[in-house]
Amino acid sequence: MERSLLITEIYKSIQGEAAYAGWPCTFIRLTGCPLRCRWCDTVYGFKGGNHQNFEQILSEVDRLGVPLVELTGGEPLAQEATAPLMQELIKLGYKVMIETSGSESLASVPLDVHIIMDLKCPGSGMEDRNLWSNLDLLKPSDEIKFVMAHREDFDWALQKVREHSLDSRFKVLFSSAFGLLQPQQLVDWMLEANMVRVRLNLQQHKYIWHPRAKGV
């Protein structure tokens, strides 16, 4: 197997979402994604990038000096060498996370990796790309994220949480699409529906920096 990946950027910032929000984190942003979500904020990662071998990637991660590392995209699992890289990072003692769209199989992801997996709501335009078999591959400690643009997305997410008992099997995050749904409105709906085991997810980095800023 080729030990290189097409990389958009590797940088140090603050983890903006999910259980590790607020912690310093090194991000490895891989190039390319098979999806085209309507509110994607990393379209610059669809094309371009540079091929880097494992030695180059690991050297840069080491230089940045942060023990928490997240692979993101684009869609990191669209590249075959992503799983071996995660295994190398684990061997070196890093806490490894992956943020994935849920459209690619999780079967290759090492067990020690913390997974944050989207389930694409109808408003994304990518609902038909959800790979539901991934639910059987998640660990109880992993997280499922729903990003919502409107009430229809919320109702859909609520139905899926209840249909699959997601909030008793995994950590579930409800997130408002930045600029499309106000967090206060989402909180009102969550409380009204008595979603006591679902966590509000805000993209902290978009409140700290410009919403379209790169490398943060």
Dump pLDDT digits (tens) for 117-156: 999 999 999 999 999 999 999 999 999 999 999 999 999 9
For residue 170, being part of any structural domain is answered with: yes
Residue 16: the pLDDT is 86
Is residue 215 one of the residues assigned to a domain? no
- 178 within some domain: yes
In a domain, 96, yes or no: yes
- Rounded to two decimals, the pTM is 0.93
Q: With 80 as the cut, is the pLDDT of residue 210 above it? A: no
Residue 162 lies in a domain: yes
Q: CA–CA separation, 48 vs 148, rounded Å?
A: 29
Q: Which residue has the higher pLDDT, 160 or 204?
A: 160
Cα torsion through 28, 31, 34, 40, rounded to 10:
70
The per-residue pLDDT for 215 is 67
Question: In this structure, is residue 214 part of a structural domain?
Answer: no
Distance of CA 185 to the CA centre of its chain: 23
> How many domains does the chain contain in total?
1
| Domain assignment of residue 20, yes or no | yes
Report the pLDDT value the prediction gives residue 216, as an integer from 0 to 100.
Answer: 60
Is there a domain that residue 213 lies in? no
What's the mean pLDDT in 81-100? 98
**Domain containing residue 77: CATH number:** 3.20.20.70
In terms of Cβ atoms closer than 10 Å to its own Cβ (0-12, 13-18, 19+), residue 22 is exposed
Find the domain containing 152 and state its range.
4-208
Question: Which DSSP helix (H) or strand (E) runs through 13?
Answer: strand 4-14
Query: Which tokens sit at 10?
Result: 């590797």
